[in-house]
Chains A and B, each alone.
Chain A
Amino acid sequence: QQPVQSPQAVILREGEDAVINCSSSKALYSVHWYRQKHGEAPVFLMILLKGGEQKGHDKISASFNEKKQQSSLYLTASQLSYSGTYFCGTESRAAGNKLTFGGGTRVLVKP
């Protein structure tokens, strides 16, 4: 079963912040985040391996709440280059070595 991402889409002005959530019904042991620009392949942003872990990539950061089976991606002071579709991917012991992606969140940053 795919993790659920919310919101499905968000429109921002340059400099604004946004949060993308990823929830799973399964106990997770890792969460991946990828960004895909239109017409291109997904590109890795970060992976969180432990509950409570937080990571950052430029002004994009993420957290992983293992108990709630959730992860959140934070876009801070958004830039035009942040536009694209963001996918979370989850690994769970129940699913073996499969990486299961959510349906994606489309982000549009306007000037």
Chain B
Amino acid sequence: EAQVTQNPRYLITVTGKKLTVTCSQNMNHEYMSWYRQDPGLGLRQIYYSMNVEVTDKGDVPEGYKVSRKEKRNFPLILESPSPNQTSLYFCASSSTVEKEQYFGPGTRLTVT
């Protein structure tokens, strides 16, 4: 089954404790992206990647890091999380030809 998986689905952590949210897709998509969703603000892009070893900032990259060492994986790293990063995070992937984005199930992160 074609899918994007994210782990963990729910995470409660404390300020400053480094964390990684994993994202994996099995569709051989070149393009992968991370979004955060906050009430009234829609989906805001954090980082995206056009292919392996190619990443670029989205609209709200501050406080986040990403890497794309393999085509299927695109982890999101919060090196020193703060309460304003409490949000619902979605990973998405697409082919650069079709452009239809497939979203993962989301990760709800709470930083206290």
Contacts A42-B43, A99-B33, A103-B40 given: A47-B100 contact, CB under 8 Å?
yes
**How far is A17 from B84 in the complex, measured between Cα atoms in Å?**
39
Residues of A within 8 A of B100 (CB): 44, 47
Closest B residue, CB atoms, query A46: B100
| Cβ A98 vs Cβ B90 within 8 A | no
**What 0/1 pattern do residues 59 to 102 of B give for CB contact below 8 A with A?**
10000000000000000000000000000001000000001111
Residues of B within 8 A of A42 (CB): 43, 90, 101, 103
Partner of A101, one of B42, B48, B99, B106: B42
**How far is A84 from B98 in the complex, measured between Cα atoms in Å?**
24
**How far is A20 from B70 in the complex, measured between Cα atoms in Å?**
39
**Chain B CB within 10 Å, residue with most, of A47, A96, A101, A102:** A101
Contacts A96-B56, A97-B48, A97-B56 given: A104-B42 contact, CB under 8 Å?
yes
Partner of B103, one of A2, A41, A100, A103: A41
Distance between A89 CB and nearest chain B CB, rounded to angstroms: 8
Partner of B102, one of A44, A97, A104: A44
Closest A residue, CB atoms, query B98: A47
Closest B residue, CB atoms, query A45: B100
Nearest first, the 3 closest Cβ-Cβ pairs linking A and B are: A41-B103, A101-B43, A103-B42
